[in-house]
Amino acid sequence: MTIMMPAPDQMVLDRRDAIVRDFREIVPGEGVISSAAEMLPYESDALTAYRQPPMVVVLPETTAQVSRVLKYCFDHGIKVVPRGSGTSLSGGALPLADAVLLGLSKFKRIREIDFDNRVVVTEPGVTNLAISQAVAHAGFYYAPDPSSQIACSIGGNIAENSGGVHCLKYGMTTNNVLGCELVLMSGEVLRIGGKTPEQAGYDLMGIITGSEGLLGVVTEVTVRILRKPETARALMVGFSQVEAAGECVARIIGAGIIPGGMEMMDRPAIHAAEAFVNAGYPLDVEALLIIELDGSSIEVDELIRRVEAIALGCGSTTCRISGSEAERDLFWAGRKAAFPAVGRISPDYLCMDGTIPRGALPRALALIRDLGEKYGLGVANVFHAGDGNLHPLILYDANKPGEMDKAEAFGADILRCCVELGGVLTGEHGVGIEKRDLMPHMFSEVDLNQQQRLKCAFDARGLLNPGKVFPTLHRCAELGRVHVHGGKLPFPDLPRF
Amino acid sequence: MNILHIRDAADVEAAVRTAIAGEQPLEIIGHGSKRSIGHVMMTNAVLDVSALNAVTCYEPSELIITVQAGAPLDEVLSLLDSKNQEFSFEPMNPAVLLDSRSGRGTIGGMIGAGLAGPRRIKAGGVRDHLLGAHAVSGFGDSFKAGGRVVKNVTGYDLCKLLAGSWGTLAIMTEVTLKVMPKAEAERTLVLRGLDDLAANRAMTAALGSPYDVSGAAHTPHSALKAARGALAGLASMGQTATLLRLEGIAASVVHRGAALAADLASFGAAEFVENAESAALWREIRDVAPFAADGPLGAWPVWRIVCPPASGGVFGQTLTRETGGEVIYDWAGGLLWAALPPSVDAHAASLRRRLAPLGGHATLLRADEGLRRTVDVFHPQAKGVAALAERVRQSFDPKSIFNRGRLTRMPI
């Protein structure tokens, strides 16, 4: 658990009292927190193995305050770490000793619900679930549904491009956000996109989404809402072999069926979940699929029949079909509680988040099993099988010396395997600090330089959330230099304009 | 005009490095099917990537295809069709509107233009389907963006920027796109005789229903008449037509069609058009066939206007009245195609002034060279956003090697 963060700036630390005083001018009342005890809750996000008290916590309530705080930091060369609800699993909101922790938790108001244009305009501190709840009375919902939806903020969802079990059919955050109000590190306030289905010019919203708080601070969000499907039903299918479950997933997709959600759990995860919530999961299977189909009742009934037939053809040993909403909820209860359930059987666990091509699922599982044996650690697997997003939960005990390091090394090996199988380091949790040093495994220096140049277009001084995502930081001036390749030029007749 | 024909991705990098050394801007083309869109470029050299035309890898069960950027869109679509799959964003065929003899263009052009069709309201646009790309930047470097899987948040999502960038950021050499299974059946519900406002309300109600509408368009009668194909078949009754598409398994589209018709009963009795006939209607909506280059309105400039869907009707109706032009609505009112009678500025100033309070934007998609020298083709952005967009552009291409001048009009 050693990760190098940018060295604290002693000049800034020396001026801490004056800086805190100045922030109190900008954000009056209780919006500036500077005592060690009160800053304690802000020391880490949901990647709790890493902790660092910030220099000061600032909780602004208005865009104007956010703008002034950022402008002040910009002028004085002070780093800023933005934070939503602090549910990041990758350490995206881990403070820095010499940085301001800028919390958006006071941006709690839904500003507008516009059913005619099917959008909600909201402040970033509103939780993901609260948006769906605010429009539920009219039969609408906000589609992305990360497991932390009860707590995670929509602003944090933008930062991480959050997914969830339903993103197989309905997309991730980036596919469901139309616009935002963005405050740049310089304090400049911009409006990107809005209620229109597309924005003018370059797709800046697309680059802000998933930028992990490195490009700007979002102070307002416009999201797309959808009408709930007429009905949804789920199948719970057990297999005596993981390979058969993987084959079943591939055949369902191959048959042109895109379920609302398609989740897989392996034996350890099934047992942990069943012991926790008594969802009625079969305990004599190696893999369990939960497949949800939604749409009109006629369509759902027909697709249930087709999926059941495919499952049988793949050698399923058990198959239950939900006959009521209560039963469907019960099927999901175990899956949704899988992380805490695993938390009950192991003192600690690390949740990984790689993505692989669907077809590589059986191979990935075998590799993870072998690695588990090599490291001598248990692992429970929970997957968004429909889109190949793996969540291996590595079981360890932080109190045993060296075990956490071993678990992290195991996790890094799993992610390297994901890349080697044609996949990526993270499907929905973000890079943060957790996968930062693995980035060169997926991207070359040239690739990473191009990404950092983009960062320079938003934050040329590199003050916003430094130390996250990129393993090596370069100065913008250096990155912006065009190298003229001399010597033999292969297109000698190219005219000069 | 010098044309650089490249053979492979390495050639692209070499050509760009040569251009950087000579400070020589390049026009990047595939088949050139959309060359007439945008400002007249400030270059006398063309880089033709059409030789990069291979399908690298198509995996139907993974729902992805990896192709070189110069691959002909028609051929790729045929390949997908052979496995009963498609790009669900319905890329438009620009040849209908632009009188291009170069056909439907290439995959790279499709991505660079980012022009999605009717199903965008349900399935998203080109940007939502581009998973990964290999490209050459204006630094002369080959770089990779994204990956080959749908779910990926590793690093910045550079693919979003490439889609719709009109070739001004980087030259894509190979891309991975998400594909989707085709629907088994489709059915279009047709409402007759609604004016623009009522049609907008009907489309809003349809999109607010649980019936999973995948297309919502409205055309005036004159536009139906101007179209020569399937849409013309709806012209016989002398009325406007409002079209709502349902897709899925056969029993479901029948059920949903009936339920939607009942919900919309106050807008009048519905007729239904099924399967192949329905598909033909939506192809013509997608390609804006009533404004075809070889049709009666072929000489008029055409605007592509994007606005909040529920305000489309009022905006379009006013625009029609004031200019004597024609408006076709797609995306439930969120996309307006307007063919306007020729005028000094193609009505740009008044149109954009009226669009501003709605937060909409307008692109002059079809216009002769003269107009494209005097009118902002792409919607001018607020100062701060424009400045950021320019910094973003420079972060890819600081010397303005690619498609110089295409997006921003130079002062005369």
Mutate to test the interface with B, among A166, A180, A196 (most CBs of B within 10 A): A196
A254: which 2 tokens? 């191959």
- List, for residues A348-370, the tens digit of each pLDDT value: 999 999 999 988 988 999 999 99
C-alpha distances out from residue B64 to A363, A427, B52, B218, Å = 19, 16, 19, 33
pLDDT at res. A3? 85
pLDDT at res. A359? 87
Positive or negative: CA dihedral A244, A246, A248, A251: negative
State yes or no: pLDDT of B29 exceeds 70. Answer: yes
CATH class of A230-345: alpha beta
Closest residue in chain A to residue B249, using alpha carbons only: A299
- B174-200 CB burial, b ≥16 within 10 A, e <16: bbbbbbbbbbebbbbbbbbebebebbb
Considering just the CA atoms, what is the radius of gyration of chain A in Å? Answer: 24
Fold of B299-383: Alpha-Beta Plaits (3.30.70)
Return d(Cα B360, Cα B321) in angstroms, integer: 19
Q: What is the DSSP string of A342-368?
A: HHHHSSEEEE---B--GGGHHHHHHHH
- List, for residues B196-234, the tens digit of each pLDDT value: 999 999 999 999 999 999 999 999 999 999 888 999 999
Query: Which residue among A114, A171, A454 places its CB closest to the CB of B124?
Result: A171
pLDDT (average), residues B22-49: 95
Fold of A10-103: 3.30.43
pLDDT at res. A489? 57
Highest mean pLDDT among A125-129, B9-13, B235-239: A125-129
The pair phi, psi for residue B77, each rounded to 5°, is -65, -40
Mutate to test the interface with A, among B80, B149, B365, B399 (most CBs of A within 10 A): B149
pLDDT (average), residues A35-64: 96
Higher local confidence (pLDDT), A49 or B258? B258
State yes or no: pLDDT of A488 exceeds 80. Answer: no
State yes or no: pLDDT of B128 exceeds 90. Answer: yes
> What residues of chain A lie within 8 A of the CB of B210, using their CB?
139, 227-230, 296
Beta pairing class for A177-183 and A217-224: antiparallel
Direct distance between the N- and C-terminal alpha carbons of chain A, in angstroms, rounded to an integer: 55
Q: For residue A371, how many other CB atoms are within 10 A of its CB?
A: 19
Alpha helices in B107-165 (DSSP H): 107-113, 120-123, 158-162
Could A302 and B180 be called an inter-chain contact, meaning their C-beta atoms sit closer than 8 Å?
Answer: no
Could B43 and A497 be called an inter-chain contact, meaning their C-beta atoms sit closer than 8 Å?
Answer: yes
Q: Which of residues 154-193 of A touch B (CB under 8 A)?
A: 160-161, 163, 167-168, 171-172, 174-175, 184, 188-192
ipTM > 0.90, yes or no: yes
**B49 and A CB contact within 8 Å:** no
State yes or no: pLDDT of A111 exceeds 90. Answer: yes
Could A424 and B152 be called an inter-chain contact, meaning their C-beta atoms sit closer than 8 Å?
Answer: yes
As a whole number of angstroms, the longest Cα–Cα distance in chain B is: 66
Give the three-state DSSP class for B60. helix
pLDDT at res. A492? 58
Positive or negative: CA dihedral A226, A232, A236, A237: negative
Question: pLDDT grade, residue A106 (50/70/90)?
Answer: very high
Give the three-state DSSP class for A412. helix
In the DSSP assignment, the letter for residue A114 is E
Query: Which residue among A115, A206, A430 places its CB closest to the CB of B161?
Result: A206
Residues of chain B with CATH 3.30.465.10: 48-181
pLDDT at res. A431? 97
Query: What torsion, rounded to 10 degrees, do the Cα atoms A463, B159, B116, B43 define?
Result: 90
Minimal C-alpha gap between A311 and chain B (Å): 16
> What residues of chain A lie within 8 A of the CB of B58, using their CB?
none
> What residues of chain B lie within 8 A of the CB of A442, using their CB?
147, 154-155
pLDDT at res. B400? 96
Give the three-state DSSP class for B103. coil
Could A189 and B384 be called an inter-chain contact, meaning their C-beta atoms sit closer than 8 Å?
Answer: yes
**B63 and A CB contact within 8 Å:** yes
Residues A347/A398, Cβ–Cβ less than 8 Å: yes
Note the pTM of the prediction, 2 decimals.
Answer: 0.97
Return d(Cα A200, Cα A202) in angstroms, integer: 7
pLDDT at res. A497? 46
- Nearest to residue B149, comparing CAs of B131, B171, B172, B168? B131
Mean of per-residue pLDDT scores for chain B: 96
State yes or no: pLDDT of B316 exceeds 50. Answer: yes
**B182 and A CB contact within 8 Å:** yes
**B329 and A CB contact within 8 Å:** no
Architecture, CATH, for domain B48-181: 2-Layer Sandwich (3.30)
Mutate to test the interface with B, among A135, A436, A491 (most CBs of B within 10 A): A491
> What residues of chain B lie within 8 A of the CB of A358, using their CB?
61-62
pLDDT (average), residues A12-20: 97
> What residues of chain A lie within 8 A of the CB of B24, using their CB?
494-497
pLDDT at res. A493? 59
**A133 and B CB contact within 8 Å:** no
Could B359 and A195 be called an inter-chain contact, meaning their C-beta atoms sit closer than 8 Å?
Answer: yes
Mean of per-residue pLDDT scores for chain A: 94
Residues of chain B with CATH 3.30.70.2190: 185-289
CATH class of B185-289: alpha beta
Could B361 and A490 be called an inter-chain contact, meaning their C-beta atoms sit closer than 8 Å?
Answer: no
The structural domains of chain A, with segments of one domain joined by +, span: 10-103, 110-227, 230-345
Could A139 and B147 be called an inter-chain contact, meaning their C-beta atoms sit closer than 8 Å?
Answer: no
Return d(Cα A178, Cα B11) in angstroms, integer: 38
CATH class of A110-227: alpha beta
C-alpha distances out from residue A93 to A10, A38, A112, B73, Å = 22, 17, 28, 43
Q: Which of residues 332-371 of A touch B (CB under 8 A)?
A: 355-359
Minimal C-alpha gap between A150 and chain B (Å): 22
> What residues of chain A lie within 8 A of the CB of B385, using their CB?
190-192, 201, 204
Question: pLDDT grade, residue A2 (50/70/90)?
Answer: confident
Query: Which residue among A118, A442, A457 places its CB closest to the CB of B154?
Result: A442
pLDDT at res. A490? 62
Return d(Cα B396, Cα B141) in angstroms, integer: 10
Could A190 and B378 be called an inter-chain contact, meaning their C-beta atoms sit closer than 8 Å?
Answer: no
- List, for residues A205-231, the tens digit of each pLDDT value: 999 999 999 999 999 999 999 999 999
Q: For residue B82, how many other CB atoms are within 10 A of its CB?
A: 10
pLDDT at res. A486? 61
**B250 and A CB contact within 8 Å:** no
**B322 and A CB contact within 8 Å:** no
